[in-house]
Amino acid sequence: MNHQLLPLPGKANQLHQNSLSTAYSHYKLPFLSDQPDKHGRKMIVFPCKTCNTKIHHPTYNTSPTNLSKHVANCLKQLQEVNDTTKLAALGISGTGLIFLILQAPQLCAIWCTNKARPFSALGKEAHENILHPAVIKNMLRQKAVSHDIARLYTLVQESIIESLKNHEGAIYLGLDAWQLPNGFDYLGTVIYFLVWDGTSNV
């Protein structure tokens, strides 16, 4: 695509210069693109001042709707980044991960399993108050989280079984059983074994 500034249709240039719509003030000086529209005409490119995304606009379309839509999304993302920066300044680390939507289910599952919290705790007001809006928006139902926790346990078990299969030497097994006030019985299992890295280190 040729980004060289080319003469613009008078109306488009005037709209940008006069900023008749507030949307135009969020864009740099527009230029003509070699990319044609569905009618084979060259399109006008509006580079966003915030994220530098280039919005292609048909020359025959004088409505700034698509430009306004991008501005709204861009400003929303900028606000989320600013909020994350403020959290980081307070010493809260790892906030960048919350923008990875696929990690929201894993975060919920780990939150439940770390302290043996019940699935019913998910979605409660006290729980949502400590979560980022991106996580709340993508939070799964309790049954889905329960399924994810079962998968996590299975993966951990498979990993432990595989490491024990490959181990050579003695293995020490420690067991401890206890009962909680709610009547649930637990059996704790601890496995000890030495790992030699080929040097004098164990």
User: Could you read off the pLDDT of 61-114 as tens digits, one per residue?
Assistant: 777 777 888 888 877 776 665 555 554 454 444 444 444 455 666 666 676 666
For 131-179, write each residue's pLDDT tens digit.
666 666 666 555 665 676 677 778 778 887 887 887 777 888 888 888 8
Q: What is the model's pLDDT at position 97? A: 45
- For residues 151 and 72, membership in a common domain is answered with no
- For residues 3 and 84, membership in a common domain is answered with yes
Q: What is the model's pLDDT at position 5? A: 44
- For residues 25 and 54, membership in a common domain is answered with yes
Domain that holds residue 143: 95-158
Is position 183 within any domain?
no
Considering its fold, how many domains does the chain have in total? Answer: 2
- For residues 76 and 112, membership in a common domain is answered with no
Q: Which of 36, 66, 92 represents a domain boundary (last residue)?
A: 92
Whether pLDDT at 11 is above 60: no
- For residues 37 and 5, membership in a common domain is answered with yes
Query: How many C-beta atoms lie closer than 10 Å to residue 107's C-beta?
Result: 19
Whether pLDDT at 43 is above 70: yes
Contacts of 169 (CB under 8 A, 6+ apart): 193, 194
The pTM of the full predicted model, rounded to 2 decimals, is: 0.34
Q: How are beta strands 185-192 and 172-179 bridged, if at all?
A: antiparallel
Q: What is the model's pLDDT at position 119? A: 58
Q: Which of 77, 92, 107 represents a domain boundary (last residue)?
A: 92
Is position 142 within any domain?
yes
CA-to-CA separations, 175 to 17, 110, 163, 184, 189, in angstroms, rounded: 77, 24, 19, 17, 5
